[in-house]
Structure 1
């Protein structure tokens, strides 16, 4: 490494301001993810649909990542990382503002295209921003720099979750699910009035974030950005895929990322269901009080995740990324054993603790998988963004188990359902161990 290089400097030239601009995007898609996760339960309550049906919010949300990743890579190859960021922010804003006509329709299905468009934008952002941050400085500090940038992602996530849980959920009509179900069948006019009131509340965060994203777009458009990673060379998509397919470390990384994102999505989304199980079903609290208390556990999980990002980025100076990844995945498996077998508040705290274990996983898998890809880094990044599809595939599987509403192998369906993230973290452990000697 050049003596003049540092985490935010290459060949003696500082790129701190562009780094801050792009890192702001990390916080913005963190907001989108975690203002949405708690909404899954809200949609189920507002429209009186099953957990499996409401999980289609996540299907639509993460499908956009899968569909748009390679088109995004082709776009930034032809133009630039900055152009990819600008187009991503544009789609993000359009999708967020599309919640207004979706609300006016009064139909659950109308919200799914809005989520899809928004995450097509997030796919452009992640396909652009992750490799852009990775390429800005020295290869020796690339994984640590990416972890540092990703450390700001939970700050946006905490903000999004706080708004969803303390403003949206708390402002919904106090009628519980049973009362709403009765009204839907007996007094549909009153049910529709409650639904309209709740949808007015639900769309507000998306309206405001759409406006903020447009402002960020204008600022980045006017900011001079480095050309790091923009070689100007064009490569066939199929040639890049063929070359990437021969990279064993990369192939395993795509698989690990798929399962990690699936695990993260269910561990965060279904913490609300687990809290409902603990406080409402086991302890006999009202549905509203149970939701209120669970909110604090959810926010605690995100705070722990954010702290873990900074702490793990520090420890990465001394511990190989692959080894640290494997250790934390094993810790997550131990916590999930508590979630499944202990139950009650202890089980809920174990679920919160999983977030601390997950803190470094996404950027570390990403950084390890991109190692040594050279001019394939853009397409490699796109493949890793496509693997976010795990957040679309895994939640319906767990939701289907929860919807059984009876014991599974002697456990309540909500407890038994967490065997799904156990499988996911086993895959992450395998990847960390398989790369430990190589990175």
Structure 2
């Protein structure tokens, strides 16, 4: 569990570097909001493309080797960011980020279901919220790392909101991503070596044997909690990624925070910090309160603060957007564990579908399109609508049907 927590920290850290990278690339390549959010869409398309190959690789070579392969793929993608910055090339940047995301997908497919089934079913949501809190610890520190090494070392990152950069300044800014991604690649290689030498137990061998015997006579689609859980993950990711990716641009606006991008990244630290705190709190609450009730309360709170962020201005709007991290915190791990509840020998297939649903983050490009047409602030109405589906799932969709007895899981 300790080693898994370090992996959750690592992929959370690398994923959220994108939140400081996107406003940087928006300036370097002179992108509109649609083109900017397309970068993150490519990142999440990797989850859809790589999830099934990742599951097959885990079955073929085992859990431990798959983790090493995943970390190695991530390191390769991080190194590809160096030539992408030297060119500089928007297309090569997209390819590099896609490669990193494929490596993270492999880690996700293995680690999330492992944590969920490693203990008793009753505390699965609590357990996954706990390790996801370490994921949020990584996401909390990433904006400081990216703010200092990317935005803090670039002209666009330290310039005022209305300042127009010259072509030479944009080319100089492109070089700023080389050092941070070189550091990331080095850390990933070291972590891969540690895991390769660590005596990890095999994952789910007994469960796999049972699954092969039961698959032919049971259908995933008879389990309502999974059927509605897959779109719940998909829709929730649109909300989480939309907020995170457009946060710095939103806070930087004169009528909201009136700060530059580097300063706005410090507030992003608070958004992800709220997610970490919320997951620790959620882990404790779910030991005595049902996961469905905690999820319902979080979705109502998230919807309210998003409406405040949409229709107010100044510090009120800024702090409302920051606070949504606290409510979003427990959503992914809780939906995930509710989605695989009662699947028994079908748990592996169900978990694979839920991980594929992370591709919902790719639809953040829809919010970018809305921001271009109707304004950045108005686009957060999409986020508020997403919270309503999560509420529906908590109140009705998460109820398990045709559940296998717990002893069979």
Hey, what does 2:330 align to over in structure 1?
360
- Seen in structure 2, the aligned counterparts of structure 1 residues 241 and 295 have a Cα distance that, compared at 3 Å, is farther
**Structure 2 unpaired stretches of 5+:** 404-409
1:431 aligns with 2:393: yes
Residue number in structure 1 paired with 2:372 = 403
Match of 1:380 among 326, 350, 364: 350
Given that residues 229 and 398 in structure 2 are in contact (C-alpha distance below 8 angstroms), is that contact kept between their aligned partners in structure 1?
no
Where do 1:45-60 residues align within 5 Å? 45-60=27-42
Deviation at 1:292, TM superposition (A): 4.0
Deviations 1:95-121 (A, max 9, x none): 111111212221111100101111110
| Number of the residue aligned with 1:328 | 298
Task: Output aligned runs, 1:2-401, within 5 Å.
Answer: 19-173=1-155, 174=158, 180=164, 183=166, 191=167, 193-231=168-206, 233=209, 243-277=219-253, 280-281=254-255, 285=258, 289-393=259-363, 395-401=364-370
- 1:435 deviation in Å? 5.0
> Counterpart of 1:262 in 2: which secondary structure?
helix
Q: Indicate if the aligned counterparts of 1:73 and 1:379 stay in contact, CA closer than 8 A.
A: no
The structural deviation recorded for 1:213 is 1.0
**CA separation in 2, counterparts of 1:203 and 1:381?**
36
SS at match of 1:267: helix
Higher mean displacement: 341-350 or 123-132 = 341-350
How far apart are 1:33 and its partner, in Å?
Answer: 1.2
TM-score for both structures, normalised by structure 2: 0.91
- Measured against aligned partners, the alpha-carbon deviations of 1:271-304 in whole angstroms (never above 9, x if no partner) come to 1122122xx2568x5xxx4334423321111111
1:240–1:275 distance in 2 versus 1, CA, 3 Å: farther
Task: Please give the TM-score of this superposition, normalised by the length of structure 1.
Answer: 0.85
Q: Which structure 1 segments of 5+ residues have no match?
A: 1-18, 184-190
How far apart, CA to CA, are the structure 2 residues paired with 1:269 and 1:55? 7
- The aligned counterpart of 1:416 is 378
Q: State the distance in 2 between where 1:300 and 1:84 align.
A: 33
- Do the aligned residues in 2 keep the contact of 1:136 with 1:226 (CA within 8 Å)? no
Aligned partners of 1:33 and 1:75: how far apart in 2?
22
Q: Deviations over 1:111-148 (max 9, x none)?
A: 00101111110100000011111222233332221111
Q: Deviation digits for residues 179-202 of structure 1, max 9, x if unmatched?
A: 546x3xxxxxxx1x3233222212
User: Equivalents in 2 of 1:77, 1:140: separation in Å?
Assistant: 27
Aligned residues: 396
Whether contact under 8 Å (1:48, 1:177) holds in the other structure is no
Compared CA separation, residues 429 and 98, structure 1 to 2 (3 A)? same
1 CA distance for matches of 2:261 and 2:271?
A: 15
